[in-house]
Amino acid sequence: MFVFAIRRLLLAFLTILVLTATIFTLINTNNNTLRTIAINELGPQTPAEDLDSWIDDNILTKPLVVRYGEWLSGFVVGDWGTSSVFRRHIFGYDSSLDRNQWGVINERLYYTGMLALWVFAIMVPLALLLGVLAGVKEGSLRDRGISSFAIMTTATPEYISGILFMVMLASRKYHIFHNIPDIPTWISTGQMAYLDGFYFKAVANLRNGLDFDDLFLPVLTMVIYGVGYIARMTRASMAEVMNSQYVRTAILKGLPRRTVILRHALRNALIAPFTVIMLQFPWMLTGVVIVEVMFAYKGFGQALFVASTNMDFNMVMACSVISVVVVLLTQLISDLGYVLLNPRLRLR
């Protein structure tokens, strides 16, 4: 196990080097990209001759390999440079500043981390519960209903469900409680008036820090999209385990069905969903770009979008490295967890 982990870490380090070298080369050998970097530094009104002169004096003065080595050495020690778009240092903590003492990456990863925390806290237990309930009775009405719900949520992209939630829960004109024809008898007039005037934020400005309104719609959008995929994988795995010989034997021996499910079937059924759950971490970091841009949520995904559209070189490189590190670490944890959950793999 230890040798396997070390080998995977070395492979991850090599992957990071190859990726950063590729991105660095693509950016530094494209004239349009270099021109955009120069415009970010000097301003959009700068003459073309001054832009070319700045590129020659500040970028093309050294060979590409030397420039990459200088960037890599600075990156390793924590010198990630300054963002030309956000006009702030990218990484670390600077106590000499009056405001924005934390770097852009530190701040954005915190907000995305809080978003991911709530998404996983709701999505994973809900998806596992739905998958197990559907898998233990394959072909039943409950199974078909849960499977249909899972397929429907998985087939609905985030930008569709996000817009629908905005309209139904954040729009004053099309608010969902405006269109209820008859007030239910168990809801009083005062409670209905409260619901009718309760709106969620369609724009998470985060001016006063994180609050419930800032997180509700982004979390709801991501949970609805991700819960179906995990539930379907859990359902398929649970149905396969329930039809296995050892589970049938346990049931024929007279063991209670609940004991068979919890002690014998559930652990083996969680092997495949565990891998899928771990793969949701890279999706949370980079695939969340659509959700964060849609709701103006100032997280890592929104920073990556702004940096890439404005060709913020230092920020793009930092986001690329962090994305690769998260992907490789989650894959390593997934592989190790798979081995721990499946003892047969430890003997190989």
Measured N-to-C along each axis, helices 300-309 and 313-341 cross at an angle, to the nearest 10 degrees, of: 140
Residue 194 is predicted with a pLDDT of 46
Q: pLDDT class for 315, splitting at 50, 70, 90? A: very high
Query: Does residue 175 register a pLDDT over 70?
Result: no
Query: Does residue 186 register a pLDDT over 50?
Result: no
Q: pLDDT class for 93, splitting at 50, 70, 90? A: confident
CA distance 32 to 47: 15
Whether pTM exceeds 0.85: no
What mean pLDDT, rounded, does the chain reach? 83
CA distance 65 to 57: 17
Whether the Cβ atoms of residue 238 and residue 265 lie closer than 8 Å to each other: yes
Most confident of 4-18, 116-130, 278-292: 116-130
Residue pLDDT, tens place only, 299-312: 898 999 999 888 88
Q: How many CB atoms lie within 10 A of CB 183?
A: 14
Whether the Cβ atoms of residue 35 and residue 55 lie closer than 8 Å to each other: yes
Residue with tokens 């934390």: 102
Better pLDDT: 340 or 220: 220
Query: Does residue 275 register a pLDDT over 90?
Result: no
CA distance 133 to 334: 24
Q: Using H for helix, E for strand and C for coil, what is the string for the chain? A: CHHHHHHHHHHHHHHHHHHHHHHHHHHHCCHHHHHHHHHHHHCCCCCHHHHHHHHHHHCCCCCHHHHHHHHHHHHHCCCCCEECCCCEECCCECCCCCCCCECHHHHHHHHHHHHHHHHHHHHHHHHHHHHHHHHCCCCCHHHHHHHHHHHHHHCCCHHHHHHHHHHHHHCCCCCHHHHCCCCCCCCCHHHHHHHHCCCCCCCCCCECECCHHHHHHHHHHHHHHHHHHHHHHHHHHHHHHHCCHHHHHHHHCCCCHHHHHHHHHHHHHCHHHHHHHHCHHHHHHHHCHHHHHHCCCCCHHHHHHHHHHCCCHHHHHHHHHHHHHHHHHHHHHHHHHHHHHCHHHHHC
Nearest to 289 by CA among 208, 222, 224, 226: 222
Centroid of chain to Cα 326 = 10
Q: Which two tokens stand for residue 141?
A: 């009405």
Percent of the chain whose pLDDT exceeds 90: 27
Name every residue whose Cβ is closer than 8 Å to that of residue 81 and which is 6 or more positions away in sequence. Answer: 74, 89, 90, 314, 318
Query: Does residue 192 register a pLDDT over 60?
Result: no
Better pLDDT: 263 or 174: 263
CATH number, domain 104-347, options 3.10.105.10, 3.90.180.10, 2.40.100.10, 1.10.3720.10: 1.10.3720.10
Q: What is the mean pLDDT of residues 298-327?
A: 89
Nearest to 146 by CA among 244, 236, 278, 273: 236
Domain ranges of the chain: 2-77, 104-347
Whether the Cβ atoms of residue 264 and residue 246 lie closer than 8 Å to each other: yes
Q: How many CB atoms lie within 10 A of CB 259?
A: 12
Percent of the chain whose pLDDT exceeds 70: 88
Better pLDDT: 347 or 290: 290
Nearest to 204 by CA among 156, 173, 157, 162: 162
Residue 266 is predicted with a pLDDT of 82
Residue pLDDT, tens place only, 111-140: 998 999 999 999 999 999 999 999 988 888
CA distance 241 to 338: 16
Residue 318 is predicted with a pLDDT of 92
